[in-house]
Amino acid sequence: MAGFTLKNLSKSYGALEVIKGIDLEVRDGEFIVFVGPSGCGKSTLLRMIAGLEEVSGGDLMIGEKRCNDIPAKARGIAMVFQSYALYPHKTVYENMSFGLKLAKRPKDEIDRKVRAAAGILHIEHLLERRPSQLSGGQRQRVAIGRAIVRDPQVFLFDEPLSNLDAALRVHMRLELSKLHDDLGTTMAYVTHDQIEAMTLADRIVVLDHGDVQQVGTPLELYHLPQNLFVAGFIGSPK
Ligand code: ADP
Ligand code: MG
């Protein structure tokens, strides 16, 4: 397990600077939530941490290690996407075990990890189904399960609940909170939903136009917003 550190981290697409030199230290085991309006750079930031986008400037440290040039699969990071990104023709078991199989892990270890993750997520009874035979919430559990089996140092979540209906979103929010309590792994979570941010986060990072507006605990942001943007964003009902 590890935390991660961003040092003046930036990202440009051509002339467009999408992430503008962010400094942030996330401690080991912290649940950090990035919020901000659509297009402010949340996904880009996560993708850089995951190694799916190249860093344009600054440093990305995972634990003590500088990771700018380390390939995605060697970073010890697992990312869960909004779209789930499951393989439609594979069963739940195959979806969850696929990464470990590619990594040539022994079969009994794979089996143990898949069943343990399925237990945590209450999907043991779904292992032989295919994604088309699952509800949205069940699919998202499989996507999270696929991340858990990899024993990542850091979990990254990019709006994982935004395709679910409101009631299920509340339920899954509680499950994610519990998952964090159980695993104790560092989690970085992106959302544009203030309530999700307030309930999940140890600390919230408010982003706008690729810049950090404020970093603080939910209570700090709620009671002491440093500017109108933060006040509007955190205070506005959804
Ligand atoms: P968010 O996740 O907060 O909605 P994104 O990180 O997806 O924001 O996008 C931030 C900005 O970067 C947007 O202006 C978007 O159009 C731009 N962007 C994202 N990916 C690319 C890309 N591959 N090429 C060019 N521009 C991109
Ligand atoms: Mg996004």
Whether residue 25 is predicted with pLDDT greater than 50 in this model: the reply is yes
DSSP code for 86? -
To 5 degrees, how large is the angle CA 177–CA 181–CA 182? 115
Residue 105 dihedral angles phi and psi, to the nearest 5°: -75, 150
Please determine, for the modelled complex, whether the ipTM score is greater than 0.90.
yes
Closest protein CA for atom 24 of ligand 1: 13
DSSP code for 203? E
pTM beyond 0.80, yes or no: yes
Q: What is the mean pLDDT of the chain?
A: 94
Q: Residue 236: what pLDDT?
A: 54
Neighbours of ion ligand 2 (CB under 5 A): 43
Which is nearest to 200 in space by CA: 33, 42, 29? 33
Give the amino acid at 194: Q
Q: Residue 10: what pLDDT?
A: 98
Spatial contact of 11 and 182, defined as CB atoms under 8 Å apart? no
In this prediction, residues 47-76 reach a mean pLDDT of 96
Cα dihedral across residues 35, 220, 202, 194: positive or negative? negative
Q: Closest ligand 1 atom to the C-alpha of 207?
A: 3
Residue with tokens 């159980």: 182
Strand positions, DSSP E, 36-95: 57-62, 65-66, 77-80
Confidence of residue 141 (pLDDT cuts 50, 70, 90): very high
Ligand 2 centroid–CA 106 distance in Å is: 36
Q: Closest ligand 1 atom to the C-alpha of 158?
A: 2
Ligand 1 centroid–CA 124 distance in Å is: 37
Task: Judge if the beta carbon of residue 176 lies within 6 A of ligand 1.
Answer: no
Whether residue 145 is predicted with pLDDT greater than 80 in this model: the reply is yes
Q: Residue 34: what pLDDT?
A: 97
Q: Residue 47: left if φ>0, alpha if ψ -120 to 50, beta else—which one?
A: alpha
Share of the chain above pLDDT 90, in %: 85
Closest protein CA for atom 20 of ligand 1: 44
Closest protein CA for atom 15 of ligand 1: 39
Residue 196 dihedral angles phi and psi, to the nearest 5°: -60, -45
Give the amino acid at 18: V
Ligand 2 centroid–CA 188 distance in Å is: 13
Confidence of residue 235 (pLDDT cuts 50, 70, 90): confident
Ligand 1 centroid–CA 117 distance in Å is: 32
Closest protein CA for atom 14 of ligand 1: 39
Q: Residue 118: what pLDDT?
A: 95
In this prediction, residues 208-213 reach a mean pLDDT of 96
> How does DSSP assign 127-169, residue by residue?
TT--GGGS-HHHHHHHHHHHHHTT--SEEEEESTTTTS-HHHH
To 5 degrees, how large is the angle CA 93–CA 123–CA 119? 95
Closest protein CA for atom 23 of ligand 1: 13
Instruction: Report the DSSP pairing between strands 203-208 and 211-216.
Output: antiparallel
Give the amino acid at 130: R
Task: Judge if the beta carbon of residue 152 lies within 6 A of ligand 1.
Answer: no
Spatial contact of 187 and 144, defined as CB atoms under 8 Å apart? no
Task: Judge if the beta carbon of residue 38 lies within 6 A of ligand 1.
Answer: yes
